[in-house]
Amino acid sequence: QVQLVESGGGLVQPGHSLILSCATSGGIFSTIVMGWFRQAPGKEREFVAAHSRIGGSTYYSDSVRGRFTISRDNVQNTLYLQMNSLKPEDTAVYYCAARRSAGGSYENDLGYDAWGQGTQVTVSS
């Protein structure tokens, strides 16, 4: 069973940057695809970005494309999310997730098998 632990959240001013990390342990074969999701108060959880071990392909939601970068260190078994030009609407709890399968839509949270506990990101002046 893979375990995921996020870190790096916090309070940041608009226009500034943060980097989130997700440390993984156990069940490396269960992490063919890893992704970041977020959930703001009163809203449903939404897809942010995903990274596939197959070819290193990356995927982004329209709301973060060009500002956020997902990357993965396969030696350290760590997933990252570099967040630049942060906006107040990026405020949410950010979750790391992993899935065994490379098929299907990476934007669908139902396709993920393991989740971290979440880390709060607050963008405010």
Provide the token pair at 81.
Answer: 């999310």
- Check if the beta carbon of residue 123 is closer than 8 Å to that of residue 68: no
Task: Kindly state the percentage of the chain with pLDDT values over 90.
Answer: 80
Q: How many other CB atoms are there within 10 angstroms of residue 12's CB atom?
A: 18
Tell me which of 94 and 104 has the higher pLDDT.
Answer: 94
3-state secondary structure of 102: coil
Question: What local confidence, expressed as pLDDT, does residue 30 receive?
Answer: 67
d(CA 66, CA 60): 9
Interval 31-41 mean pLDDT: 94
Lowest mean pLDDT among 23-37, 70-84, 103-117: 23-37
Q: Kindly indicate the confidence band of residue 75, based on its pLDDT and cuts at 50, 70 and 90.
A: confident
What is the phi/psi pair of residue 22, to 5°? -135, 105
Reply yes or no on whether the pLDDT at 28 is more than 80: no
d(CA 118, CA 97): 10
Question: What local confidence, expressed as pLDDT, does residue 54 receive?
Answer: 86
Question: Which has the closest alpha carbon to 87: 7, 18, 35?
Answer: 18
Beta strands at 18-25 and 3-7: parallel, antiparallel or unpaired: antiparallel
